[in-house]
Structures are given as C-alpha cells and as structure tokens.
Amino acid sequence: MEIKNKYIALLIDAENISPSYIEKIIDEANKYGTITIRRVYGDWTTPQLNPWKMKINEFGLTPVQQYAYTSGKNASDFTLIIDAMDILYKDKVNSFCIVTSDSDFTKLVTRLREDNMFVFGMGESKTPLSLVNSCETFAYLDKMMLPEEEEVKEEKVEVKVPEDKKKGKSISSITPKRRVKMELRNIIEENLEDDGWAYWSLIAQFLQKKFPGFHPRNYGSNVKPLSFFEKMKEFEVKRDGTITYIRNKNTKSL
C-alpha cells in the first residue's frame, strides 16, 4: 500500500458511529495518507449528538447539518452521499474513508471505486458484508478498542434505525477464523513458486482482496498478519534477507 500519495476525504456518519471511536478513526486513517477533508454528518439540533460536539474542535472536524425531514429515516445519509460526489468531481483527493456501519452506503463506495478512488471503510462488527466487501479494506472499530476503552462507552450515540431494519438480531460480519485459514491455504497453493514456497507479499495482497475486513485483532490478537499465521500449525514461514515466504504444512485437518 502506497501511503505518501494518498489524499483522503474522511466522511463520518455521526448518527451511526459512537464518538468514543474518533481517536481510533483518525489514527487508522493517517496510516493511509494525509487527511485533507474531515467531515461529520448528522442532525446537530438533536441531543443524541451532543457527545460528538465535544469532539469536533479537538479533532478538527467540520460538522455538516442535515435536518431529519422524515421520521424514521437517517437523512444525513443523503447529505454524505451528495458531498462525496461533489468531492469526487472537484478532484482534490484520491482516497475516501467512509465511517459507518450502514449498508446504505454500499452503492456509494462502489461508485467511488468506479472512478479509481481508493476507498476504505470503518464501522462496527455488525456492518453488513455488502459494505465491508465493497471497500478496498475495512477496519472493525469495536475490535480496535482495548478492554479499558470498551468501558468508556458512555458517549455511545443513540442510532436512529428505521423500523424495517429493526427486525432480527445483529450478526457480526467478521469472517470466522477457520474460513480465513482455509482460504489462505488455497491462495498459497495457487501461487507457489517452483521451490514450493510462495511470496508472502503477494499472498497478503490476495488475502486482503478476498477479505477486506481481515485483521488479527478481529480474533483477539493485535499483531501483524504474518505473525498471526506464523504461530499456526497449518503454515510455515521462512525469511531470505528482506523477502519472506510462506507455505502450507501437510496437516490432516484444520
């Protein structure tokens, strides 16, 4: 991932994301380049967003007002989408960071990527796979929080959920570790060199494309992906100077 040439538009759905995540959001976005636009969307006349107001100046955010003209519908979605398209056509950024757990933004992400924008997302583990997989990469904010930080959830925003979306229990979109391992084994087998080893840098790229939301912290291990897999019995890693290789071990079962 090339960092120095990325200029990022950070767009946050305040009615869907807790302000307790803001520091993690900024830190994660900074890994990809320079944040040139920082906007947070919501109906700022409502008391539910008061916790967000305390974060606006601290993190240099620009609040964008959207009145809720229709009951039960998150109107800020439309404003964020319109703004994103305006930013796209002004040609001042080459990357977007969309922060939400709402699948309604899936089409927006797809549209931005059609114009060769690098789009990465952030949201909670309840985020539908349709949105996660439409992004180049996706970070689960609730999995980035330390245990002591999880206790500081008094700033949690009351999310406005339309009646037609309240049915059923929220299900995590995090891919089970077993499936990640199985797919990694397949990717390795498909990309072996003549000596029976695969280049880790290439495998890592394919794995990220297969699972945009993958990160070891999703499974309680906040380490680099290579270290995560190196500890497993299914894989073997070797290093030759600056080049790292990986291959599958012959195990009877996962």
What phi, psi does 224 have (nearest 5°)?
A: -70, 150
- Whether residue 81 contacts residue 71, with contact meaning beta carbons closer than 8 Å, is answered with no
**What pLDDT does 152 receive?**
43
Q: What was the pLDDT predicted at 199?
A: 95
Last residue in a domain, options 165, 199, 234: 165
In this structure, the chain runs to a length of: 254
Please check whether residue 171 lies inside any domain of the structure.
no
Residue 165 has pLDDT above 50, yes or no: no
- Return the minimum-mean-pLDDT range out of 6-10, 76-80, 123-127, 135-139: 76-80
194 and 156 in a common domain: no
The burial of 246, by beta-carbon neighbours within 10 Å (0-12 exposed, 13-18 middle, 19 or more buried), is given as buried
Quote the pTM value. 0.74
Same domain as 43, residue 101: yes
CATH number, residue 220:
3.30.420.610
Residues 78, 31 within the same domain: yes
State the residue range of the domain holding 76.
7-165
Comparing CA positions, the residue from 3, 26, 221 lying closest to residue 141 is 26
Given a contact cutoff of 8 angstroms between Cβ atoms, the answer to whether 245 and 226 are in contact is: no
Residues 186 and 145 in one domain: no
* Least trusted range by pLDDT, from 32-46, 56-70, 131-145, 232-246: 56-70
- Pick the closest to residue 117 from 31, 6, 213 (CA basis): 6
pLDDT of residue 54: 87
Place of tokens 């583990």: 125
Q: How confident is the model at residue 229 (pLDDT cuts 50, 70, 90)?
A: very high
pLDDT value of residue 71: 55
Tell me the pLDDT band of 175, cut-offs 50, 70 and 90. Answer: confident
Q: Which residue has the higher pLDDT, 222 or 62?
A: 62
